């Protein structure tokens, strides 16, 4: 495998999940695989889980890790071909990506959506800039439109927790005071398309995700109806896609409560705003899987890095 950019790079989800679960049982089993190899983690945005879990995964494989908060500490990058760089941007992606490639064997990038320019966000200029100009494999640590490491960790968590032949899984929008990207929801939808499940997306009207991603996924605007007999409820806020990046509703009726959750397991990628997105009783209760999802980020990253190192 050359790069891990989206859920579409997973050739067999059951095999990857099974391999990740084996790594979880014995994280140091392949410690010599990454010996003498280095990964650079470049962050254009904040992180807790992605940073620590990807670092941990690389260390479990015997790799050296270099981390840079590129957004705060790096030169401001220019991505446009032929740009006259007489303004704020000091370095072109052409040089930056080639320079980074000399210092490490894999580069992992976090670069969120601007939520102001749909065309630019969908072009994934930062991630694809590194793919185009770096000479080493690139891993997506959450880009404008995708968070495939999170989706893989979610698949591992569901596999561990599932007791049904065909579970009912609901992706439920929740309110949030800020405009958030679509990346987590997009990758969760794509991951569900690889699973045998009764999958339903529920959100207020106007919050439809990119139809090229949701394809024929069931959408139910009545949350109560969508949640009936759910086994897993994945709660996430995202901003409007059609009215790009706008917050159209902060309706607190969409906050997940213990009552609405019923007997389902609760999932969220974290970080989460308590008593806005989900009430305390859910997060503090036994049905919440959020801490295990975060734990599984290590083994999701480890299976990805292992496959890259092996190829």
Other beta carbons less than 10 A from residue 63's beta carbon: 22
Q: Using CA atoms, how far apart are residues 179 and 47, in angstroms rounded to an integer?
A: 17
Residue 101 or 150 with smaller CB distance to ligand CP: 150
- How many residues line the site for ligand CP (CB under 6 A)? 9
Residue selected from 4, 5, 50, 265 as contacting ligand CP according to rule CB under 6 A: 50
> According to CB under 6 A, which residues from 136 to 165 bind ligand CP?
142, 150
Residue 87's Cβ-count burial label (10 Å; 0-12, 13-18, 19+) is exposed
- Give the Cα separation of 198 and 193 in Å (integer): 10
Binding status of residue 306 toward ligand CP by CB under 6 A: no
- Measured from the CB atom, the residue of 161 and 249 that comes closer to ligand CP is 161
- Do residues 126 and 142 lie in contact, with contact meaning Cβ atoms separated by under 8 Å? no
d(CA 35, CA 105): 11
Residues 221-260 that bind ligand CP (CB under 6 A): none
* CA-wise closest residue to 110 among 181, 173, 62: 181
Site for ligand CP in 260-279 (CB under 6 A): 269-271
DSSP H or E stretch at residue 260: helix 258-261
Of 96 and 183, which CB lies nearer to ligand CP in the complex structure? 183
Nearer to ligand CP, 230 or 269 (CB): 269
When asked if residue 47 is in the footprint of ligand CP (CB under 6 A), the reply is: yes
Contacts of 71 (CB under 8 A, 6+ apart): 43, 44, 45
Would you give the binding string for ligand CP spanning residues 188-217, x where CB under 6 A is met? Answer: ------------------------------
Q: Does 85 bind ligand CP (CB under 6 A)?
A: no
State the residues that interact with ligand CP by CB under 6 A: 47-50, 142, 150, 269-271
């Amino acid at each position: 495998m050359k790069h891990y950019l989206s859920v579409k790079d997973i050739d067999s989800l059951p095999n990857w999940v099974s391999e990740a679960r084996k790594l979880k049982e014995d994280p140091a089993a392949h410690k010599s695989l990454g010996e003498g190899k280095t990964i650079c983690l470049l962050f254009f945005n904040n992180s807790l889980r992605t940073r620590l879990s990807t670092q941990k995964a690389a260390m479990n494989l015997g790799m050296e890790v270099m981390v840079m908060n590129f957004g705060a500490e790096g030169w401001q990058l220019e991505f446009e071909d032929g740009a006259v760089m007489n303004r704020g941007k000091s370095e072109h992606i052409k040089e930056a990506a080639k320079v980074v490639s000399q210092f490490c064997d894999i580069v992992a990038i976090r670069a969120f959506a601007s939520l102001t320019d749909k065309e630019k966000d969908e072009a994934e200029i930062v991630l694809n800039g590194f793919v185009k100009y770096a000479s080493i494999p690139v891993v997506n640590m959450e880009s404008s439109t995708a968070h495939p490491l999170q989706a893989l960790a979610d698949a591992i968590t569901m596999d561990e927790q599932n007791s049904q032949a065909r579970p009912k899984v609901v992706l439920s929008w929740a309110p949030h005071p800020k405009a958030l990207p679509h990346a987590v929801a997009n990758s969760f939808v794509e991951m569900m398309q690889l699973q045998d499940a009764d999958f339903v997306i529920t959100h207020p009207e106007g919050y439809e995700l990119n139809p090229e991603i949701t394809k024929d996924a069931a959408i139910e605007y009545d949350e109560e109806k969508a949640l009936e007999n759910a086994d897993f409820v994945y709660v996430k806020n995202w901003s409007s896609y059609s009215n790009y990046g706008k917050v159209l509703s902060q309706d607190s009726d969409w906050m997940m409560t213990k009552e609405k959750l019923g007997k389902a397991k609760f999932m969220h990628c974290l970080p989460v705003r308590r008593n806005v997105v989900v009430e305390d009783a859910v997060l503090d209760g036994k049905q919440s899987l959020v801490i295990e999802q975060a734990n599984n980020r290590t083994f999701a990253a480890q299976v990805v890095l292992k496959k890259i190192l092996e190829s």
